[in-house]
A and B are shown apart, each in its own frame.
Chain A
Amino acid sequence: MRTSLVVFAMLFIVGAALAGGPKTYGKPITVKEFTKISDILAKPEAYNGKRLLVEGNIVDVCSERGCWIKIGSDKEFQSLTFKVDDGVIVFPLTAKGKKAQGEGVLSVKTYSKEQLIESGKKHAEKEKKEFDPASIKGPKTVILLKGEGAVID
């Protein structure tokens, strides 16, 4: 009885801690100055490998594992994917629309058409979904902020 009460009290505390107020995910933020997402997307190569702090509204969240969020840019029609290692940080789906600050290292990689087709086939096989190689039109540059820490309002 006492054990059950202790466990349920802990669940309550965890639940309360998870609700409301700005919440820190992962490591504390150390970078002092913000970099505009529009600046990053304008010249990604200039920021490749650099540790950056960005801010903006969360416009999408990984619905399967909470392993990425998309942060809306200061300019329209742009967003930056903030990717974290699976399980290290888990973003809640309810974070959509909230303001976020995220720190991480920028990764800019260009994949050839062949690499994308190979990756698409593997992904489709794993997910048991159909994949049309013709949907890949050419090489693609993927820009990610490899996230280490974030604060969500």
Chain B
Amino acid sequence: MIKWRRWNNILHRDFGYAVAALTLVYAISGIAVNHTADWNPNYQQRKEAISVEPVKGATTAEMKQFVMKQLNLMDEPKSVFRPDPGTIQLFYPGRTYTIDVLSGKGIIEQIHQRHVLYEFNQLHLNAPKRAWTWFADIYAASLILVAITGLFVLKGKNGITGRGAWLTILGVLIPTGFWIWFQYL
């Protein structure tokens, strides 16, 4: 009697355990990055209107000092930029002040990294590169193994020759049908 199904199930079980955590990471990140049109999956951005007196100063350095005094900012900004003669920007870690020089009106843009989800997305989108590329390839190969061995875990009416066949065909038809509709109809 061939014992291939026993080995198949052992492989499916053990590789399944090993890839479970990372599959959750990829799946959660997958949902998050699918909806980038609606939200930023990595950062929370908050914009708030602010107002100071019309900015005084002959030079950028003087204008910076004026804005800092007006906004009660004690720390020196990381950098200062003037995109055009009518605007001054002060950059601090995680926040940017953009002020209209003539009116004194402006905005503070605050950026907060989304904890956990940011790390999930970095791994999912292979931001670290280098060794993670290899690890992700091994993970993908393991998923292929889990998928293929999964087809043959059961025998009988619920196996690949019975109910399993219909569900597997359904799994093939949904993406195929969608692609035909998307591409040609």
Contacts and interface: CB of A to CB of B under 8 A. Distances in A.
A98 B93 CA distance: 9
B28 to A, nearest CB: 12
Given A59-B89, A77-B83, A79-B83, A97 B77 contact: yes
Contact of B96 (A17, A77, A96): A96
Nearest to A5: B21
Interface string A64-78: 110000001000110
Given A76-B82, A93-B43, A96-B96, A14 B123 contact: yes
Which of B18, B92, B123, B127: most chain A CB closer than 10 A?
B127
B36 A14 contact: no
Interface string B76-119: 01110111110001011110100000000000000101001001
Contacts of A90: 125, 127
A101 to B, nearest CB: 14
Contacts of B78: 57, 97-98
> What is the size category of the interface that chain A forms with chain B?
20 to 34
B177 interface: no
A94 B93 contact: yes
Contacts of B122: 14, 18
Which of A4, A90, A127: most chain B CB closer than 10 A?
A90
A57 B36 contact: no
Contact of A97 (B17, B20, B60, B79): B79
A11 B119 contact: yes
Interface in B39-57: 40, 42-43, 45
Which of B78, B92, B120, B123: most chain A CB closer than 10 A?
B78
16 contacts: A3-B18, A14-B132, A18-B119, A59-B81, A59-B83, A63-B45, A64-B36, A64-B40, A76-B82, A92-B113, A93-B45, A93-B111, A96-B96, A97-B78, A97-B91, A97-B92
Interface of A: 3-4, 6-7, 10-11, 14-15, 17-18, 57, 59, 63-65, 72, 76-77, 79, 87, 90, 92-94, 96-99, 127
Interface of B: 17-18, 20-22, 25, 36-37, 40, 42-43, 45, 60, 77-79, 81-85, 89, 91-94, 96, 111, 113, 116, 119-120, 122-123, 125, 127-128, 132
